[in-house]
């Protein structure tokens, strides 16, 4: 596991099994609708890859890259678009695919931004959710796992661009970032 990680929080098998369940739920709700999956770079790349393959049918994807200004590791909710969608989402059913929601500030900005483009509907799917996210008014329709308030890496999630390639999700030893 390496010395930087404290423990494995979710194994690869647990992650993939839960994504399969979420894909079944999503297809039940969207089958026959013009669904567009919108991923948020870069953390959501692995969630998107496994979720779209787990869906019982085909749905196109698009991506946004955003950066949130903040001091240190906390996001401020002040967001800048680095890469916008290629697609016009007007009248389409948009499902935002996220890796993790912490404060929820980035996501609430993104929801306001996408709502202004008049999609037919807008919902959120996230693999992980931390406790603070529950206190913010962000409607999240599909949640993989509610996790404790610890910094996690792996399965797309990074610390300083490292650990994204781990197939599981683990907690980082606080000594690494303190």
Rule CB under 5 A: is residue 170 a binding residue for Mg ion?
Answer: no
Choosing from 22, 101, 110, 125, the residue that interacts with ligand IMP (CB under 6 A) is: 101
Which residues touch 115 (CB under 8 Å, ≥6 apart)? Answer: 122
125: nearest Cα among 138, 113, 136: 138
Encoded one letter per residue, x for contact with ligand IMP by CB under 6 A and - for no contact, window 146-175 reads -----xxx---x------------------
Choosing from 9, 22, 39, 43, the residue that interacts with Mg ion (CB under 5 A) is: 43
Q: Which is nearer to ligand IMP, 92 or 129 (CB)?
A: 129
- The catalytically annotated residue of 99, 102, 137, 165 is 102
Which residues touch 20 (CB under 8 Å, ≥6 apart)? Answer: 54
Choosing from 50, 99, 143, 144, the residue that interacts with ligand IMP (CB under 6 A) is: 99
75: nearest Cα among 97, 102, 96, 99: 102
Rule CB under 5 A: is residue 39 a binding residue for Mg ion?
Answer: no
Rule CB under 6 A: is residue 46 a binding residue for ligand IMP?
Answer: no
174: nearest Cα among 153, 155, 154, 156: 153
144: nearest Cα among 9, 5, 42: 9
Q: Which residues bind ligand IMP (CB under 6 A)?
A: 43, 68, 75, 99-107, 151-153, 157
Q: Which residues bind Mg ion (CB under 5 A)?
A: 43
């Amino acid at each position: 596991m390496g010395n930087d990680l404290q423990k494995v929080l979710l194994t690869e098998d647990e992650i993939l099994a839960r994504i399969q369940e979420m894909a079944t739920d999503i297809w039940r709700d969207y089958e026959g609708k013009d669904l567009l999956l919108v991923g948020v770079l870069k953390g959501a790349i692995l969630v998107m890859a496994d979720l779209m393959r787990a869906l019982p049918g085909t749905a196109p994807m698009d991506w946004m890259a955003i950066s949130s200004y903040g001091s240190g590791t906390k996001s401020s909710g002040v967001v800048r678009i680095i890469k916008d969608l290629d697609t016009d989402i007007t009248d389409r059913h948009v499902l935002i695919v996220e890796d993790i929601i912490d404060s929820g500030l980035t996501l609430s900005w993104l929801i306001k931004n996408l709502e202004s483009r008049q999609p037919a509907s807008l919902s959120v799917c996230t693999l992980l959710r931390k406790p603070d996210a529950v206190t913010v008014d962000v409607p999240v329709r599909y949640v993989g796992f509610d996790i404790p308030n610890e910094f996690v890496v792996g399965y797309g999630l990074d610390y300083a661009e490292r650990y994204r390639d781990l197939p599981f999700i683990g907690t980082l030893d606080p000594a690494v970032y303190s």
